Each structure stands twice: as C-alpha cells, then as structure tokens.
Structure 1
C-alpha cells in the first residue's frame, strides 16, 4: 500500500517535470534578456540571481529594473510590482478549486511557483492537481528562469561597455513585446494602456509627484476607470436585453 503511494507520488512529480519542459524552454530567451539588462542597469550578479530566486515574476522583474534605473524609491517599486502581480490571488484561488487535499504547507509551497504559464498548464490539465505534480512543474520552470537569468548576466558582462549601455533600449522593446500581443482583439487592454500612459504623462510633466508615485497612481486610476466603464456598459446591455 505504502509502496503504491510512493510510486504514484513519483509518477505525479515526473509528469509535472514533463509538463514544465516546454515552459522552461520558453523562459530561456526571456530570462537571458532579463539577466543581460540587469547587468546594464547596474545590478550585481548576486542581486540578479536573488531577484529571480525570490520574485520569480518576469513582468514584475522587468518593471523593477525600469524603476530602479530611474532611481525610484524601494516602496514605490514594491507597490508597483504588487499591483502588477495582484492577479496571482485569482490564479491561486482558481487552482485551489482544482487541487486535491494537500496540506496548507504544501499549497503554500507550490503557490510561490505559480506564474501565468504554470497556471495555464495546471488549469487546463485533465483531472485534479496535487502537490507532487505542481512541485515538478514549478521546479522545472523555476530552475530555467533562475539559471538563465544568471547566464544572461554573465553574457552581458562580457559585452563591450558601449553595447552594454545601449542594451537599456531592449527594456522598452521588451515592454512593447509584452503589451502588443495582449492588445490584439482586446480593446479593454488598449484603453488601459492609453489611459495609464496619459495619466503618467500628466502627473510627470506637471511635477505633481515623484516618478514612482506617478506610475503607481496612473496604474490604479486607469484600472479603476476602465473597470467602472466596463461595469456600466454591462449594466446597460443587461437592461437592453430585458
């Protein structure tokens, strides 16, 4: 009986690793670029690896680099990345409904490794998920992100200084690359991006607050305004249908 349980746990862990291989491969170029830009931003190798170890969130780490490059305060950096990653609460709650009767400690352990990609794989998997499967899935993706972040930094350190300095442009190119696909076929995202840019420009040019707080407030205001308009439109449609 016990040997059967151990064999099942090993099988689930192996399946998690297999499911995570495609994510790990996809993380390679993004993590390499992060490490490269982290070097040009002024982070040390230990700081770059530590950020990937503790944060493990691509968009949040890129945004952090942008804010750090502008000399933004640590509180604004933390608050901004919290807002960006607040969707993880919803993803965790969704997976909780699909999870087996794992212990609280196990769920806390694998919830750290939930990203957009690991969530998509786990959420679309047939049947339930358990701690062994999630640990295998997350460990594969996590290892790739951390290792290639460090490798990207090492590669960046070997580039000529002029090229290193010019690589800061890649940070903005990466933001565009992340934004454009999500804007296709989603007008809501377009409105959100335009409003956030407009609010941030107004706050910055009017010198009403620091750059960090301008970004935080612009993000919050645009998100709230878009949701209010969307809710109002849904209410109007419901009244029309009646």
Structure 2
C-alpha cells in the first residue's frame, strides 16, 4: 500500500486531482473565512492600521485569532513585547496541529511540507485530519489551504474597501464576529462532554476574575495558560481508547457538511 500511494502521488495527473479534491473540501469554510476576515479588517483600520498593512498582515500571518487580538491590544496601547508574547502563546497550538498534519502527509518533499505548514489553521486541520488516508497527501492539503488562504486575504481586502461606505454602527457591530466564531467552534465540542465543559467554565471564571486584577492583555495571556493547565489536569485521566474530543467533533462536523 505505501508503495502504491507513493507511485500514485508521483503521477502528475493524480497530483492535480488531489489538489482539486483539497480545494473542493475547503469550499464549505469560504463564507466563514471571508466574513471573519472582513471583520478583522474593520478592527485593524479602527486600531490605526492602513489598508495595505491590514492586507499584508493577513497575507503574512494568516492566523485570525492572533491577528484580532494583536490589533485589539495595539489599539489599547499595549507594548509590542506583550503583544508578541500573547500571540506566541495563542499560536502554540499550531505546533501540535502541524505535527499531526505532517505525520499524515505522504511523501518527503520538504519544500512542499514547509509551504503546507504555513497554511495550517484550526479549520484546515479539522478538515484534513478527518479525511481518509488515501486523500492525505501534500497536494490535497495544498489545495485545501489555497481556498482558505485566498478567502482570508480576499476577505480582508474586501473589508478594507468597504470600510469607508459602511455605516459606523454596522462597522462597530462587526467586532463581535471574533467572539461569535469562537463560540461557534466551541459549543459543538461541549455537547455531551462534561469534562470539557468544566474546563471551559473554570477558564471563563478565571478570565472574568482576572479582568478586575490585570489589564486586558495580561488577562488574555494568563487565561490562556491557566486554561491549558486546567485542561491537561481534567482531561488527562480520560479512559484509554476513548476517541479524542476535538477530532471526533471535527469528524462529525465534516461528515455533516
């Protein structure tokens, strides 16, 4: 089987087919990416960035949550080192996601793997890790991230272009998009899982409490770290052989598409 997979991957026709299969798999998240990127661009402009800076940030960083947090913290006058620390901690999950993706990718083309690693997001990770082994190629993943990356950058550009014609009340209301996105990703994961619900609840209580002690920047950093520690402690003693929480949730979500 590995030899057959290697031979099929080396076939130019198969590589093209795998690439377009990946693009097709990414289509369901296009609307979500564009809408959140649109909201990010509004937030970025309101925080003082120029349109080209917002678009370049999306093109070079490609990490929605950390981009939004970075511009929010910058708008509040947070120091650059604190912003870097916050975004670094938030993006640490990419180490795990990239490792999982690279372990599934067949072949050993390092250059393509590096390119693929840049495109790892929560959504592309969820889609790719729930595909069959036959589709788990670097070309499939490149097709997938072509769609997600293009949607993110285009959505940012669209937001910048539309910012001047949007009513102020609508532009300001788009700030809740980030929170809505996080809630939309989180709530399905909590279904029937008391342990994960406990982690979220305790982290939320800690974050709310810290708002009265620390500034918003350090509240984000401390809540992220404490949430991770609580998660490890509560979820570490799950029964062996039990299907992992997030992958299963992602699988159900993908199958329902």
With structure 2 as the length reference, what TM-score do the two structures score? 0.74
Query: Is 2:105 aligned against 1:99?
Result: yes
Query: Is 2:221 aligned against 1:216?
Result: yes
SS in 1 for 2:163: helix
CA distance in 1, matches of 2:131, 2:105: 11
For the pair shown, which has the larger CA radius of gyration, 1 or 2?
1
Query: Is 2:160 aligned against 1:153?
Result: yes
CA distance in 2, matches of 1:50, 1:186: 39
Which runs of 5 or more residues in structure 2 are unaligned?
1-6, 241-257
Query: Is 2:24 aligned against 1:18?
Result: yes
CA distance in 2, matches of 1:170, 1:24: 15
SS in 1 for 2:129: helix
The counterpart of 1:63, out of the listed 54, 69, 83, is: 69
SS in 1 for 2:74: helix
Deviation at 1:210, TM superposition (A): 4.9
Match of 1:49 in 2: 55
**Bigger mean CA offset, 146-155 vs 96-105:** 96-105
Distance 1:168 1:140, change over 3 A: closer
The answer as to whether partners of 1:39 and 1:157 remain within 8 angstroms in 2 is no
Instruction: Write out per-residue CA displacement over residues 171-230 of structure 1, whole angstroms, 9 at most, x where no aligned residue.
Output: 555555555454444444444444444444554534xx5542342123212321342244
Distance 1:172 1:18, change over 3 A: closer
Match of 1:238 in 2: none
CA distance in 2, matches of 1:134, 1:117: 12
Distance 1:104 1:192, change over 3 A: same
Distance 1:118 1:230, change over 3 A: closer
5 Å matches for 1:203-242? 203-206=210-213, 210-231=215-236
Distance 1:230 1:61, change over 3 A: same
Deviation at 1:75, TM superposition (A): 2.1
Distance 1:156 1:110, change over 3 A: same
**CA-based RMSD:** 3.0
CA distance in 1, matches of 2:195, 2:69: 21
Deviation at 1:157, TM superposition (A): 2.3
Match of 1:144 in 2: 151
Instruction: Write out per-residue CA displacement over residues 102-121 of structure 1, whole angstroms, 9 at most, x where no aligned residue.
Output: 32221111111011221222
Match of 1:40 in 2: 46
The answer as to whether partners of 1:73 and 1:212 remain within 8 angstroms in 2 is no
